[in-house]
Every structure is written in C-alpha cells, then in structure tokens.
Structure 1
Amino acid sequence: MAPGVPSEKKKKKIEEQSSEERAIRVPNPHLEKIKEDILYHFALGTATHDFPALFGDVKFVCVGGSPSRMKAFISFIAEELGIGSPGNDHPNICAGTDRYAMYKAGPVLSVSHGMGIPSIAIMLHELIKLLYHSKCSNVIIVRIGTSGGIGLEPGSVVVTKQSVDATFKPQFEQVILGKSVFRSTHLDEKLAEELMECGKELDQFNTVVGNTMCTLDFYEGQARLDGAFCSYSEEEKLQYLKSAYEAGVRNIEMESSVFAAMCNLSGLRGAVVCVTLLNRLEGDQITTPHEVLKEYQTRPQKLVGHLIKKHLGKQ
C-alpha cells in the first residue's frame, strides 16, 4: 500500500464514527508549542481573534475558486435559510488580505480558494486549523465550482466519487522532505449519495456521480489544443479523453485531489460538486453565452443549498 493511504480497516473505522465523534483532526504535534497560531493568508490569529466565538457554530463550509462566487453563495444560502434580511450584505472576514475571501451566515462558512492545487492547499491548511481552534465538530465541507465535462451535456452537475490524477489513479502525490507521499482521494460515499438524492428531489438539471480528474494546469495537463504550446495531435487528445471516460472520469478540474486528501487527513466529511461548462470531446474553448454560463454556475449552489436545508430541517 502506498505511504499515507489509509488501510481499508482504518477507512471503515472512520466511516463508522458517530456524528458526536467527528471532531477536527490536526495531526501536527508542533502546533502545541506555538503560543499564537497566525493564519497569515486569512489575516486571522488565535491571539487577536476569539475563534470559538466567531466560528464555533460552523457546521457547513463551502469553498470555491472565485471570491465573487463565494459571496454570491453566502447571500443565496442566507436567503434560503432565512438568516438576515433580503439583500443583507455579508462582510468579508478576511478583508485584511487579498489572498482569500471568507463570509459567514449562521452555521455556514463560504471561502474562496483561488485556482489550482497550491492555492487551495494553503487555504485548506489554515481553514482546518481555524475549525480546530474554534472547537468545531460534525463539519461538512463541499467544494463547488466549474469544470470541463467528458461525455456530458454542458450544464450537467458532477458529484465526485473519487478524484484521480492525470494517469487515472485515485491518489494525491505530496512531496515532503524530497520524498513522495501518496494520499487517498476517496470522498465520503454517504455524502455523495445524499447529494445525488438532492439532485433527484430538485429535478432541475442533470446530476451524475463519477470520477473527477484533477490536473496541474488548464491547458496541456487537460489535453487542450488551444494553449501557447501543444505537442500532440487532435487524435491523440481524443484518445486520451476517451480513455479517461472509460476509467470513469466525467469531468476535469484543478483542485479536487488535494481537497479529498486533506479531508481524509482531518476527518472532515467532504464532497466535490462541479458544473460542466462544455463537453471536452467536442471542443476546448468555452463559447457558451455569458448569461447561460452564469446560470450554470448557480447549479452547484442550488444542490448544496438543498443539502444544507435538509440537514438543518428547513425543508
């Protein structure tokens, strides 16, 4: 078994934990020696902010690439939950930095993570510590975003079963002290099933479950023909994408692998919900009108909002 990948016995034990036992895990003994933990990229710190008072009631965290999209989500979910007055503005908790944006409405936290594995990994390190310092438990975290679909109509929403790398393996490679550590990228199966059920209940758009391929860049890593550089033919591109489809891949994005790995390490119940903006078997460039794309981007929000309302008994 690859280093860092939990055994089947350990995974089963984690899955069997009752909700009361789902505390945030931060397996770093060095943190106990730090008098003040400064979450630099959030402009927050344990000596300057009362984390339990600010965030102790958080039960749901939604993360996505764009600050504006995450602000739109918090406004949407606040209205769905009846928190505050319609049109009520939600201040950016991380206004002291321009790296990430964070918004809160009741038990829901909405955080931007930028684009790509390095950006979301930095954010998740600090977010997980924030939840830990806040003494949160039973937290569900969902990445909502956009992606390129494979064999799906644009506008389809993919609930990720597991994230795979560019060779279709369900693993995330983290280089630590010059050595490769491979971590599992399986996501919470029960949560994925709940989201699929929510899709059926909404019955507003096509919702599917499948593997998500996480790449290191937007162009060559995703077999696009329209980057500044390209060393392969269109036939080779299509053969690769068809192989991905045969391996269960239904969409491509750039953050799911490290997201899944860090959920597993911290004990967070995690899910990835992304809308497809195009079918990569039919092209590379996004030509859909802006207004249509704008509506597509609300679909993961609607699905996750429905899940949150069900969990809170707001249905």
Structure 2
Amino acid sequence: MEKSEQKRNDPRGSPEYVKNPHVAAMKEDILYHLNLGTGTHDLPAMFGDVKFVCTGGSPTRMKEFIEYIAVVLGMEDPKSEYPNICEGTDRFAMYKVGPVVSISHGMGVPSIAIMLHEVIKLLHHAGCTDVTIIRIGTSGGLGVEPGTVVITKQALDGKFQPKMEQIILGKTVERSTELDQGLAEELLQCSKELNQFQTVTGNTICTMDFYEGQARLDGAFCSYTEKDKQEYLHKAKEAGVCNIEMEATAVAAMCNLSGLRAAVVCVTLLDRLKGDQVTSSHEVLQKFQQSPQILVGHYIKKQLKAKAVQG
C-alpha cells in the first residue's frame, strides 16, 4: 500500500490548492461538469472574491441556501433570480452571492469527488485565497435525537478508520480524513450563540452505499440479522460515531490534501439504533434541514464581520 499523500505548501506563501503539475501545462482547462473553463470564462472576475464554498446534495436545497445567505449578509436583491452558474449541465447547480458559493454535490463519494476536483481547480484558476469549504446536509443519527446537528470531528470509513482509500493506477492510495478541529469548535460556538437546536461534535461514518453499507435491513439485499446490525452500530457508537452519511471522507481527504479548511455539518433525520426508515413528516424534515443552513449562515456572517473589523 502506498503511503498517505501529504499536504504541500507553496514556498511563495500563497495557497497551492491544486497538487497536479500537469494543470499548469494545459493550454485550456475545461471544468466539464460545471460547464465552465479557463478559455471560455473570466474565472478571476467571476470567483476571485470567494471565501466560502458551501455544498449539499440537492440543487433545490443549495438554491434555498444562497437565497438565505443573501438575506443574512444583507445582499438580498429583490430582482435577482440567483441564476444557476452551471446552467447548461445537469450534473451540478451553482449559485453565488458576494464571497459565498453554494453548489450541489449529488449523492455519494464519487459524485462529490468530481465536483471537488473541479471546484478546487476553479479556486486555483480564480486566484482565491483563505477559502473554507463546508458540507451542509442530512444524515442518519446514532444515539442522538432526530434534528440534532452533528459537526464532524473525524470522517471515518465503514471500518471506523480515519482514511479514504482509492484505487489509482491499480494501486491502493490511502488519504487522511482529518478535519480542521479549530473550525469545528468555531461552528460549535456559533450554535451555542444561536441556541436554536441541539448541536454536538462527533465522528461521522461515510459509506459507499445507503443500504447494506449503512447496516440497513430494508434494502433489496440483506445477508445479516437485526442482532448483527445492532452489534455493528453499537461498535460505531463506541468509536465516537454520532452519524452516518455518504460524502464526509471525500470532503475531508480532498480538502486536507489541498490545504483548504473544511467542515461537515449535518442534521440527523432519525436515530439508526431505533430504525432504518425516515418517518417524520415533510414539514418536520424541512425544519430539520434548515438547521445546518442557519448555523453555517451565522458562522459566515460572524467571520466576514470579524475580517471587516480587522481590515
């Protein structure tokens, strides 16, 4: 097995988000899944001021977030439709208000990894600095009440290991899934200031599947018992796991490799120790899904205010 890849710092002191020497030699870089490119768009003009990239699975939810963040930051434009910057492709939807980008990532590690590859290159081409990436989403809880917001301490694989494995050129490459603990603490403090919903920090299991990978009994296939499931979930709980989702290891590994600050903030829709299916009403689920947006919106406003004072 190859050794974990380590972050490298640009000797000039500026961010070096892209760790691919081939990119510099490219005449044009087409960000295919974003419908953007260095030859067709003025990326520094469009994105040079970006400081926060917030991402979630659903295009609809990310449009709602940009509308919300526009109000929070006092940048609301009654005439604006907040157009999808990635219009022309149905892979991802991207919106922008001031220094905040809101982009969908689809479902699962493969989908979010594609998006992150291209967004990290986008930040590079645009000359962005001091960028924070935050995944806001939903998850299955573990021993916490539905509606609890979990700020991830460590992203773990299905064996409770803080790593993401990927096959590259036929070899297994292992990447660390450490997240910025300072950022996690800052987000937790913001939740305390809001005092609107229960928030905890804990480990997050990231799986490659929604059903068997998450020890559900209700998929099309299942080769284990309720007892087996409970034993696995209790072992996860003993490992400090508070929730289960499908993107955290990619966020942690890729942002760690790029030197980008990153966080994963997910609300729990159910307690997996008590069942497998989401049974809450649509209205309750909508309220739950707003909590990560409220928390991250408060954090961004606080950070921008602090930077304005310092500046």
Name the CA distance, whole Å, in 2 between partners of 1:213 and 1:5: 21
Counterpart position of 1:280: 272
Name the CA distance, whole Å, in 2 between partners of 1:87 and 1:287: 38
* TM superposition shift of 1:184: 0.4
User: Is 1:26 paired with 2:18?
Assistant: yes
User: Is 1:193 paired with 2:185?
Assistant: yes
* Between 234-243 and 87-96, the greater mean CA deviation after superposition: 87-96
Q: Select which of 191, 207, 210 maps to 1:218.
A: 210
The answer to whether the 8 Å contact 2:56/2:136 transfers is yes
C-alpha change, 1:246 and 1:222, in structure 2 (3 Å) is same
Name the CA distance, whole Å, in 2 between partners of 1:78 and 1:96: 24
* TM superposition shift of 1:42: 0.5
Name the CA distance, whole Å, in 1 between partners of 2:13 and 2:206: 31
* TM superposition shift of 1:88: 3.5
Counterpart position of 1:4: 4
* TM superposition shift of 1:198: 0.5
User: Is 1:183 paired with 2:181?
Assistant: no
* TM superposition shift of 1:245: 0.3
User: Is 1:65 paired with 2:60?
Assistant: no
* TM superposition shift of 1:265: 1.0
Matched letter for residue 123 of structure 1: M
Deviating above 4 A after TM superposition, structure 1's stretches of 4 or more consecutive aligned residues are none
SS at match of 2:175: strand
SS at match of 1:313: helix
The number of equivalent residue pairs is 306
User: Is 1:162 paired with 2:147?
Assistant: no
* TM superposition shift of 1:84: 3.0
| Deviation string, structure 1 residues 227-276 (Cα, Å, up to 9, x no partner) | 01111000110110000000011000000001100001111100000000
The answer to whether the 8 Å contact 1:117/1:255 transfers is yes
Matched letter for residue 152 of structure 1: V
The answer to whether the 8 Å contact 2:188/2:199 transfers is yes
* TM superposition shift of 1:21: 4.5
Counterpart position of 1:311: 303
SS at match of 1:198: helix
User: Is 1:92 paired with 2:95?
Assistant: no
Name the CA distance, whole Å, in 1 between partners of 2:98 and 2:209: 35
**Correspondence 1:114-129 to 2 at 5 A:** 114-129=106-121
The answer to whether the 8 Å contact 1:139/1:269 transfers is yes
Counterpart position of 1:79: 71
Name the CA distance, whole Å, in 1 between partners of 2:95 and 2:202: 30
**Correspondence 1:189-268 to 2 at 5 A:** 189-268=181-260
Counterpart position of 1:54: 46
Counterpart position of 1:293: 285
SS at match of 2:297: helix
| Deviation string, structure 1 residues 118-167 (Cα, Å, up to 9, x no partner) | 00000000000000000000001100000000000000000000100000
Identity %: 65
Name the CA distance, whole Å, in 1 between partners of 2:81 and 2:56: 19
Q: Which runs of 5+ in 1 are unaligned?
A: none
Matched letter for residue 172 of structure 1: M
Name the CA distance, whole Å, in 1 between partners of 2:90 and 2:132: 26
The answer to whether the 8 Å contact 2:67/2:76 transfers is no
Name the CA distance, whole Å, in 2 between partners of 1:22 and 1:275: 34
Which TM-score applies when normalising by structure 1? 0.94
Name the CA distance, whole Å, in 2 between partners of 1:264 and 1:176: 18
Name the CA distance, whole Å, in 2 between partners of 1:31 and 1:24: 12
Name the CA distance, whole Å, in 2 between partners of 1:254 and 1:206: 22
RMSD between aligned alpha carbons? 1.8
Q: Which runs of 5+ in 2 are unaligned?
A: none
C-alpha change, 1:5 and 1:250, in structure 2 (3 Å) is farther
Q: Select which of 27, 32, 35 maps to 1:35.
A: 27
* TM superposition shift of 1:85: 2.6
Name the CA distance, whole Å, in 2 between partners of 1:242 and 1:87: 51
* TM superposition shift of 1:2: 6.4
**Correspondence 1:97-136 to 2 at 5 A:** 97-136=89-128
* Between 86-95 and 194-203, the greater mean CA deviation after superposition: 86-95
C-alpha change, 1:87 and 1:207, in structure 2 (3 Å) is farther
